[in-house]
């Protein structure tokens, strides 16, 4: 089995740990489909959490779930013991733990050797436990003066441990997002709200996401040998002229993006096929089903953006929404208009969440224009 994995990994140009992650990641699609057949809300909560924990164990190793226990426990204890300040406590504690994990794993050689770790999944979990705690804190506030998002997602009742477990580790979004709200998760699992009546078939939108994922992976596999990032450290690169280097910089970035498009397309397929991706019906005639909750990137929107200002609205869409609801809007003082400080605070949180990634820094620069 080990030899077969090595041969398969070599055939697509990745390491064995990355291949194992991709296989587990692809398994979230049939796992999401099977969720629909699980009887009872409690059964579905347990299924969501246990399948996420199992796939995480297979992908990242047996100790990966211990990494997730810390922010999950912090968030739940904060809600249980310090409801009024649960959001702030969880925000500071979960982000502090995420930064420590980033620093620890980046100090090693795992990524340099083609390995992979659970910090990507931890990034998603961090946002989920924070939003849950903040919404539970909002549950004791009067509705007058609350923003629409606060009214919509506030939690008046503490989620049970089983509900919280399923929400945090639900396998469809556990690996790479998208981030979603506890209230939506509860309605979906308990078949309330827009899920109370029969929902439209997810087959066609799921197939569309899978086809998109296949195209993205195909383009990445075709282009990555032609424009590897490793060439930036080669002496030949510095012998090229300005325009040649500029073209190569653009193409290497263009190539790398298709990897992310693939990952987010698989996540989209898993969320849609489970039913959680359903967001209601359009106002068109006849009405069409919408599956926006699962959408994390607009591929054409990114590649054909008219200006760099539009990019943050098309890339990592659900994280951008989270930042708007839980950072930007909450930094605005009542009676005052948002300004530079709110934007600076939001982009600072985004940069801390990503830590080593360059995109938030460029987003910050472009957002100032």
Residue 354 appears among annotated catalytic residues = yes
C-alpha 214/C-alpha 334 separation (Å) is: 47
The predicted model scores a pTM of 0.88
Domain boundaries in the chain?
A: 2-195, 201-296, 298-369
- With a cut of 70, which residues of the chain have pLDDT below it? 1-7, 9-13, 106-115, 355-369
For 332, counting Cβ atoms within 10 Å of its Cβ (0-12 exposed, 13-18 middle, 19+ buried), the class is middle
C-alpha 153/C-alpha 172 separation (Å) is: 21
Report DSSP state, residue 145: T
pLDDT at 111: 53
DSSP of 5-62? HHHHHHHHT--HHHHHHHHHHHTHHHHHHHHTT--SHHHHHHHHHHHHHHHHHHHH-T
Rounded alpha-carbon distances, angstroms, from residue 204 to 61, 211, 269, 283, 341: 34, 10, 10, 20, 44
Report DSSP state, residue 315: B
pLDDT tens, residue by residue, 216-259: 999 998 998 899 888 888 888 898 999 999 999 999 999 999 99
Largest CA distance in the chain: 65
Selected catalytic residue, list 102, 174, 244, 354: 354
C-alpha 302/C-alpha 269 separation (Å) is: 20
């Amino acid at each position: 089995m080990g030899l077969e994995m090595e041969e398969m990994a070599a055939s697509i140009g990745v390491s064995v740990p990355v291949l194992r992650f991709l296989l587990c990641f692809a398994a979230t699609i049939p796992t999401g489909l099977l969720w629909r057949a699980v009887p009872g809300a409690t059964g579905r909560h347990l299924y969501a959490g246990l399948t996420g924990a199992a796939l995480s164990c297979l992908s990242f190793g047996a100790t990966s779930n211990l990494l997730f226990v810390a922010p999950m426990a912090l968030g739940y204890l904060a809600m249980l013991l310090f409801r009024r300040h649960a959001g702030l406590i969880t925000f500071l504690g979960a982000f502090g733990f995420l930064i420590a994990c980033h620093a620890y794993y980046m100090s090693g050689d795992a990524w340099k050797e083609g390995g992979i770790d659970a910090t990507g999944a931890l990034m998603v979990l961090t946002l989920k436990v924070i939003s849950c705690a903040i919404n539970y804190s909002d549950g004791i506030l009067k509705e007058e003066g609350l923003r629409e998002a606060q009214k919509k997602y506030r939690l008046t009742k503490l989620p049970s441990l089983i509900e919280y477990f399923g929400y945090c580790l639900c396998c469809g979004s556990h690996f790479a997002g998208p981030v979603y709200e506890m209230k939506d998760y509860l309605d979906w699992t308990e078949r309330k709200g827009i899920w109370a009546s029969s929902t439209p078939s997810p087959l066609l939108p799921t197939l569309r996401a899978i086809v998109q994922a296949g195209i993205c992976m195909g383009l990445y596999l075709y282009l990555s040998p032609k424009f590897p990032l490793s060439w930036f450290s080669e002496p030949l690169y510095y012998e090229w002229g300005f325009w040649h280097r500029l073209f190569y910089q653009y193409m290497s970035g263009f190539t790398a993006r298709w990897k992310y498009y693939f990952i987010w397309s698989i996540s989209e397929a898993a969320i849609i096929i489970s039913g959680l991706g359903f967001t209601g019906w359009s106002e068109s005639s006849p009405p069409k089903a919408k599956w926006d909750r699962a959408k994390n990137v607009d591929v054409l929107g990114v590649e054909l953006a008219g200006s760099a200002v539009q990019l943050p609205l098309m890339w990592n869409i659900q994280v951008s929404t989270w930042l708007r609801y839980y950072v930007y809007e909450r930094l605005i003082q009542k009676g005052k208009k948002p300004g530079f400080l709110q934007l600076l605070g939001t982009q600072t949180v985004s940069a801390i969440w990503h830590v080593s990634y360059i995109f938030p820094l460029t987003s910050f620069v472009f957002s100032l224009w």
